[in-house]
Amino acid sequence: NFKETDDAIHYRQSAFGLIAHNFGDMGAMLKGKKPFDAEVFAMRAQNVAALSKLPAEGFVAGSDKGDTGALAKIWSDKADFDSKMSAFQDNAAKLAVAAQSDDQNAIKQAFMNTGKSCKGCHDVYKKD
Ligand code: ASC
């Protein structure tokens, strides 16, 4: 229940920004760009899992306007968009679970699956 369409756009973009910050830091750790800190990594994975549930609300009807990266296809293929969003949420939840373990391979796999969810949706629904 946003007052203005712009509020919905701002809401989802804010959520994506928070997700990118947290996910990006996890990537930096996995790529060895900074030391791996299991506690920080797990905290960030929890953040992403919680944040992954937010952006969907911001894709209200009529918010495919302006120069946001969101393509009109989101609203014309809403069922597919929603299922991709849901897969992202599932992958993020699994990553948060994996991050509680000491299994680096499981962590990396879960991280990659989540990243594929990001990219898979961006490739189809986001202007680059
Ligand atoms: C990120 C980020 C994305 C995804 C994507 C994964 O850190 O900002 O959009 O990962 O690049 O392939």
Q: What is the 77 CA–ligand 1 centroid distance (Å)? A: 22
Residue 113, number of CB atoms within 10 A of its CB = 17
For residue 102 the two structure tokens come to 């000491």
Q: Whole-angstrom Cα distance, residue 64 to residue 47? A: 27
* Residues 22, 44 contacting (CB under 8 angstroms): yes
Q: Residue 23 carries which side chain, given as an amino acid letter?
A: F
Q: What is the 115 CA–ligand 1 centroid distance (Å)? A: 6
- pLDDT, position 65: 80
Phi, psi of 44 (to 5 degrees): -70, -35
Angle between helices 5-30 and 104-125 (to 10 degrees): 140
| 57-66 per-position pLDDT tens digit | 999 999 988 7
| 50-59 per-position pLDDT tens digit | 999 999 999 9
- Ligand 1 near 27 CB (within 6 A): yes
For residue 31 the two structure tokens come to 């790529």
b/e per residue 36-50 (b: at least 16 CB within 10 A) = eeeeebbebbbbbbb
